[in-house]
Amino acid sequence: MALERELKALFGPVVASECWGITTTPEVGQVRRIGQIAASLRTVDGPEGQRVFIQTLPLPEQLLLCRWLADRDYASNCISKGK
């Protein structure tokens, strides 16, 4: 699947795999933070720049962001909770 391949390229295989272990919805503050990070990621030029940006994030944020991007339903549930 193309999305899995892209997530592995951006986050690395460990984060891309371990993000699926997140089963709970994060707290409201975390939801807002991940939303901001996702928006910022869209402004970064190219895959290499995106990888560098992601590597600057703490591991818990990398995991949440990866899950957010990998699973539309999870992201939607998080956004609903954050409102």
pLDDT digits (tens, 9 = 90+) for 16-75: 999 999 988 888 899 899 989 999 999 999 999 999 999 999 999 999 999 999 999 999
Asked whether the beta carbons of 60 and 6 are under 8 A apart, the reply is: no
| Domain ranges within the chain, ordered by starting residue | 2-82
CA–CA dist 27, 20 (Å, integer): 17
Is the confidence at residue 1, as pLDDT, over 70?
no
